[in-house]
Amino acid sequence: MKTIILPTDAMGRPMDAVPVSADRMAIVLSAGGVRSVPVPTGARLVLLNATESVWVQYDGPAAVPAADITNGQAPELNPGLREIAGVASLGLAAATACTVSLSFYR
């Protein structure tokens, strides 16, 4: 698994890019589908992208919200890059069929 180290330009300034991950997953969800994905050992960061909206829950099952969730435990919509140190699994849920891309880094 690779570490995220932002590349620098010719003047030493950080660029808005991350290296290609050596530990990638593609998860196919059906409409209304849910899935639990184990976090690879040593992963500290995950970069999430999807072809449609996807809800993510950390260390628990995700569900597409059907009502207000105000207790601070709502799943997160399309989170992008997240630190996941100490997280054992990612719960995924989608209202429509989609493919979720997960790239893990240490």
Segment 37-91, tens digit of pLDDT: 999 999 999 999 999 999 999 999 999 999 999 999 999 999 999 999 999 999 9
Domain range 23-105, its CATH number among 2.60.120, 3.90.25, 2.40.50, 1.10.1200: 2.60.120
The yes-or-no verdict on residue 103 having pLDDT over 90 is yes
What is the per-residue DSSP string for the chain? -------B-TTSPBPS--PPPSEEEEEEE-TT-EEEEEPPTT--EEEEEESS--EEEETS-----SS---SS---EES--EEE-TT--EEEEE-SS-EEEEEEEE-
pTM for the model stands at 0.87
Amino acid 37: pLDDT: 98
**Could you report the per-residue pLDDT of 20-34, keeping only the tens digit for each?**
999 999 999 999 999
Q: How do the domains of the chain map onto residue ranges?
A: 23-105
pLDDT on residue 15: 80
